[in-house]
Amino acid sequence: MLDIKFIRENPDKVKENIKKKFQDVKLPLVDEVIALDEKARCFQLEGDQLRNEKNQASSQIGAMMREGKKEDAEALKRRVGEINERLAVLEKEEEQTKTILKAKMMVIPNIIDDTVPIGKNDTENVEIEKFGEPVVPTFEVPYHADILASINGIDKESAGRTTGNGFYYLMGDAARIHSAMISYARNFMIDKGFTYCIPPFMIRSDVVNGVMSFDEMEAMMYKIEGEDLYLIGTSEHSMIGKFKGQMMDEKDLPLTLTSYSPCFRKEVGAHGIEERGVYRVHQFEKQEMVVICKPEDSMAWYNKMWKFTVDFFRSLDIPVRTLECCSGDLADLKVKSCDIEAWSPRQQKYFEVGSCSTLGDAQARRLGIRTKGEKGTYLVHTLNNTVLASPRGLIAFLENNYQEDGTIKIPKALQPYMGGKKVIVPQKQ
């Protein structure tokens, strides 16, 4: 959410930003917000003037009564009554106006960074850099669900009976390598100086509204029936929510946190839940990184964070590339974002395994997260990035380590988490 003062003073810039995001339907919101802001401020000004008049009148009534000026005192009492009636109306109208104003402001997208490429959707995202040489094997790499089946590693049929489509059981070595990757990702970030955290897996609606747009919430979040609670779609939600309404000491910034959680997503409007595989599912696990910092440090942290994910996958010998998200592909709260994509030897193309974003002060403004230093009080900046989201990370591991004889090699970095095991041997041919 933008600062109302910024909108008031820069309406053309806000409109131009909306156009860059190809959301022209939102252009009228800018003038509507400015008009509502003016209306609310008029109500507030009149209210302040009346409250001042009331205070002066109230102090005069006692003196008039003592001086025997009963009629004058009664006249002032009537005036105080009139003021109270008008204040009740004003306060109600001001509150209603501010409620409408906030609702409209929350729909106006954040100002994107000048370096963001302009494009309508994800088909116009721009490749930044490749890391590692993508290998095209001389043999056929099976579909990941078939690799998992060869090691008795997946059971979607039973999950369909217990829970429904989009869920799965990971079994045996598949479950072990999944957990090994998560554990390695955790330690990888701890070694980078991040503080490990396991957050709540459910959050209240006021936190949901603070960390994401309404459209995202409707498409992603599962609501707990009869409760003001939602299952998180990523631990970033509860990690940022941890600081709701807090005043931080500037000397404690930056806060660098790495969090583990299961994640739950409805995937409404997505490209469909896979019947056999686990690329797009309703439940997965994730190691996340979250940074809360001073505004002037946020872009430097953004560049550090996506590089950490690149380094993580490269330590597992998985080729990756970074993809700059274009303006039309950015969620409304984001200032800048890039995807990290892993190489798929089977498809001979890259696929998304993580995303890094800086949101400026948008989340901090919605949630009231501030810091205080020598320059006074101001809003912090928030950033988030995926270290590892599994099972997508598991798919990248399986395809890039599958060997012609059907075995799956285990990179050195993961072997300690697998009891020293160096290879997974298929149980089915």
Q: What is the pLDDT of residue 413?
A: 97
CA distance 154 to 15: 50
Report the length, in residues, of the chain: 429
Other Cβ atoms within 10 Å of 52 Cβ, number: 10
427 residue type, one letter: Q
Nearest alpha carbon to residue 414 among 344, 278, 318: 318
Interval 296-336: pLDDT, tens: 999 999 999 999 999 999 999 999 999 999 999 999 999 99
Interval 349-361: pLDDT, tens: 999 999 999 999 9
Angle of helix 172-191 relative to helix 392-401, nearest 10 degrees, comes to 110
Nearest alpha carbon to residue 289 among 391, 366, 188: 188
Chain mean position to CA 182: 20
Residue 151: which residues within 8 A CB-CB, separation 6 or more?
172, 173, 174, 408, 424, 425, 426, 427, 428
Distances (CA, A) of 264 to 15, 165, 174, 281, 385: 34, 13, 20, 9, 17
Other Cβ atoms within 10 Å of 411 Cβ, number: 17
| Cβ–Cβ under 8 Å, residues 370 and 247 | yes
Residue whose entry in the numeric block shows the structure tokens 């209240």: 204
Residue 243, sorted as left (phi over 0), alpha (psi -120 to 50) or beta, turns out to be alpha
| Cβ–Cβ under 8 Å, residues 332 and 122 | no
Structure tokens at 27: 């252009």
| Cβ–Cβ under 8 Å, residues 258 and 386 | no
| Cβ–Cβ under 8 Å, residues 336 and 307 | no
CA distance 274 to 1: 35
Per-residue pLDDT 10s for the chain (429 aa) are 899 999 999 999 999 999 999 999 999 999 999 999 999 999 999 999 999 998 888 888 877 888 888 888 888 888 989 999 999 999 999 999 999 999 999 999 999 999 999 999 999 999 999 999 999 999 999 999 999 999 999 999 999 999 999 999 999 999 999 999 999 999 999 999 999 999 999 999 999 999 998 777 878 899 999 999 999 999 999 999 999 999 999 999 999 999 999 999 997 655 556 668 899 999 999 999 999 999 999 999 999 999 999 999 999 999 999 999 999 999 999 999 999 999 999 999 999 999 999 999 999 999 999 999 888 999 999 999 999 999 999 999 999 999 999 999 999 999 999 999 999 999 865
Q: Give me Rg for the CA atoms of the chain.
A: 28
| Cβ–Cβ under 8 Å, residues 115 and 325 | no
Q: What is the pLDDT of residue 70?
A: 83
| Cβ–Cβ under 8 Å, residues 278 and 144 | yes
Task: Give the chain's mean pLDDT.
Answer: 94
- All structural domains of the chain with their residue ranges: 4-105, 122-424
Q: What is the pLDDT of residue 216?
A: 78
Q: Evaluate whether the domain defined by 4-105 bears CATH number 1.10.510.10.
A: no
CA distance 147 to 407: 9
Start-to-end CA distance of the chain, whole Å, equals 55
Q: What is the pLDDT of residue 270?
A: 52
Q: Evaluate whether the domain defined by 122-424 bears CATH number 3.30.479.30.
A: no
Strands (E) across 153-245 are located at 154-155, 169-170, 195-197, 202-203, 222-223, 230-231
CA distance 332 to 216: 9
Interval 5-44: pLDDT, tens: 999 999 999 999 999 999 999 999 999 999 999 999 999 9
The pTM of the full predicted model, rounded to 2 decimals, is 0.91
